[in-house]
Structure 1
């Protein structure tokens, strides 16, 4: 997508690492929504060294592709550093946007500092509805957002808090905590849809208990580097 810097209002930043399976569906949705916003939205994919067809698929699209060091926080910070928009939306590659998502983000950031969407989890397990409900409820109470919920923020605020900390896990929690000190997030009830793959592969209850445990340890001050090895 070829845009002049003066045209861009919203920059959508998507870190990628071996996401070829889900990219065609994501690219189609992004193309449709970007077309609705004319020249006000740019999409930046940041590849962290994919060994599958991810970069080929992105390069064949109308969107921008840059490469950088592996690590979600590193990739998102790199994308933000090259973004032309005054508003930033950080989106996981396995997450699908609701209708008019870009327009909703722009309208929301015109009146607030940052926010996120509600989330639903894609998959057949009935438990996914319960998990998503608790994720959204907990986020409203705590003022903390996760990357699965599509965090969006004014670029000025993102820079002021130092962006995502350079850590292998909980970078979304850390960013949310820093932004929350400035203003509570605006929580949109429109739902992004994220993949339930990791719950299904690892076991739903096992994954829930693991994430609760890791969040507790992080809250207690255990370094993210130590937690990352347990997560993997």
Structure 2
């Protein structure tokens, strides 16, 4: 298995993030995998020490063009694993991740994702996460916060992530659904709630739904990315 992590300006947190994955590397064999998971960090051109800090704690550091989709495609191209796991830098895998991914590897399904839980103690975050997971189960669509994983052969066949500035996770989910329904792991990944806390949970929820609705109405990812950046600037 290969873990592909796109990063940009993560010098303050990258060591902690990657340190949390070292236990997976040490016990990867014997959990349904022939080799420990490899970790590939793909930096989108950070102007801080992200790449140099990450290098001792992963198998490869790749510097690619900017954009999460571009970065994840670059990491996938360099990966040697039969299964690709795309993990955001602010997301932590559960302790059971390898066991659950071994179950996926033994299944007939092509791809999958984890349930998600937001960090922080606010009860509202639990409610938001519940709705996110419920929606994902009903639609078969996953977001990047849910740590999407896919067989590399399928990823290559589907053509990887579309090189778009936003909604690349939803877009590839729609194409992967043609291969199989997603393998849903109920043990949640924990994603950092700092974005929700900084900009306000209700404001963030409404923005996400506006963007999703306009995407399904056919608006371009480029226009939606401008909307997202403008809303973030206004919130700040």
TM-score when normalising by structure 1: 0.93
Corresponding position of 1:36: 27
Equivalent-residue separation in structure 2 for 1:102 and 1:174 (angstroms): 26
Corresponding position of 1:5: none
The one of 115, 129, 150 aligned to 1:153? 150
- Structure 1 unmatched runs, 5+: 1-9
1:57-68 map, 5 Å: 57-68=53-64
Corresponding position of 1:187: 184
Which deviates further from its counterpart, 55-64 or 108-117? 55-64
Corresponding position of 1:20: 11
- Structure 2 unmatched runs, 5+: 30-34, 230-236
Corresponding position of 2:76: 80
Which deviates further from its counterpart, 189-198 or 97-106? 97-106
Q: Secondary structure at the match of 2:162?
A: coil
CA displacement at 1:181 relative to structure 2 = 1.7
Corresponding position of 1:227: 224
Confirm or deny that 1:208 pairs with 2:205.
yes
RMSD over aligned Cα atoms: 1.2
Corresponding position of 1:3: none
Task: Spell out structure 1 runs of 4+ moving beyond 6 A.
Answer: none
CA displacement at 1:29 relative to structure 2 = 1.5
Corresponding position of 1:128: 125
